[in-house]
Structure 1
Amino acid sequence: MNIIEFLQNLMSQVPFFVQPLIVAVAAAIPFLEAELASVLGVWAGLNPFVSAGAAMAGNFASVFVVVVFGARIRALIVARRAQRAELVAVGASASGGANSSGYLAEPKPESKGVRRFKKFLVRFGVPGASILGPLAIPTQFTSALLVSTGVSKSWVLLWQGIAIFLWTTMTTLIATGVLALITG
């Protein structure tokens, strides 16, 4: 038995209305994503439009959650750093320019990875990072990185949605073509 027959037999045991939900849940998993989930859905016998739509919805839902919570976490961290900087500045002015340890407060330097990602972001922008990102890392990770650097939630969601649509459409078309070649 080949993989396509196995997937079709497996999917036939599930009610029709649950099949797209399985594809959507699979698409929400990082590294599996909408691209592979739609391929599995097509090969399992789902209509390519249903498979692609369910995969896009599942992947975008997980990206949405990452972006919303990532933005909230970033806002809390930025507010906490600002509060600490204010406390250090008050302490430094009270002690003649030095903090409690006797040294001037200096900002923490950025890591090499953050500097590299920001350079990539400046070079290609959010659209390039979103569209090319799936070649290297899952969309959920790309979204988290973009939000953590201060890119607005709506901009990240727009370009991640476009990237998910483009990649899922491409892989679904390829999967449909391959299935047509294999099954004749």
Structure 2
Amino acid sequence: MNIEQLGLFGVFLAGAIPWFEAIAVVPAGILFGLDPVLTVIAAATGNIITIAVFAYGGNAIRSWIIRRRVSKGKDSESPKLIKAQQAFDKYGIYGMAVLGPILIGTQFAAAASVAAGVKPLKVAVLISAAMVIWAVAIAWLMVALGVSVFEAGVTSD
């Protein structure tokens, strides 16, 4: 495995971590000289996997959090869950898809959308598509501006 492959694997893993998001990982990968197209693919793939997990597990995750909070004597709704639900109520599924990456993160946008009653497949497709559009737009902008810290393919002789 060469250094670029390791970098792309790191981008894939970071894209899967909530709050890192593909839209944050793509610029980092490009800054370090990774191929922009491969960087978008790796970051988006990692992010899409966790979006699907949160979309299909949204109700179970929400129920588990509520049970855990109640067993500790706290209110059933956590402040983060309330914020996610308020964002869904204000913006709906399409707003969550577009604004989720910058408001609460794609994974939490997916879980909140499913908890609000949207079908998991619709949530996963819409939020994933919006995230890919964000990632491609950011990559395109960085390439257009020529932003890079390290150039790919540089070797020492």
Q: TM-score, normalised by structure 1?
A: 0.62
Within the alignment, does 1:54 sit opposite 2:42 as a pair? yes
Unpaired stretches in structure 2, ≥5 consecutive residues:
66-76, 151-157
Note closer, same or farther for the CA distance 1:181–1:114 as it changes in structure 2 (3 Å cut). Answer: closer
TM-superposed CA distance for 1:117, in Å, is 5.9
Contact residue 26 and residue 58 of structure 1 kept, 8 A: yes
* Matches of 1:22 and 1:182, distance apart in 2: 17
Unpaired stretches in structure 1, ≥5 consecutive residues:
1-12, 78-109
* Matches of 2:7 and 2:149, distance apart in 1: 23
Larger RCO, structures 1/2 (Cα 8 Å, 6+ apart): 2
Give SS of 1:151's match.
Answer: coil
Aligned to 1:19: 7
Aligned to 1:171: 138
* Matches of 1:44 and 1:118, distance apart in 2: 37
How many positions carry a matched residue from both structures?
Answer: 142
Note closer, same or farther for the CA distance 1:73–1:158 as it changes in structure 2 (3 Å cut). Answer: same
Q: RMSD of the TM alignment (CA)? A: 3.3
Contact residue 27 and residue 58 of structure 1 kept, 8 A: yes
Contact residue 33 and residue 149 of structure 2 kept, 8 A: no
**Identity over the aligned pairs, expressed in percent?**
27
TM-superposed CA distance for 1:31, in Å, is 2.0
TM-superposed CA distance for 1:115, in Å, is 7.9
Contact residue 31 and residue 148 of structure 2 kept, 8 A: no
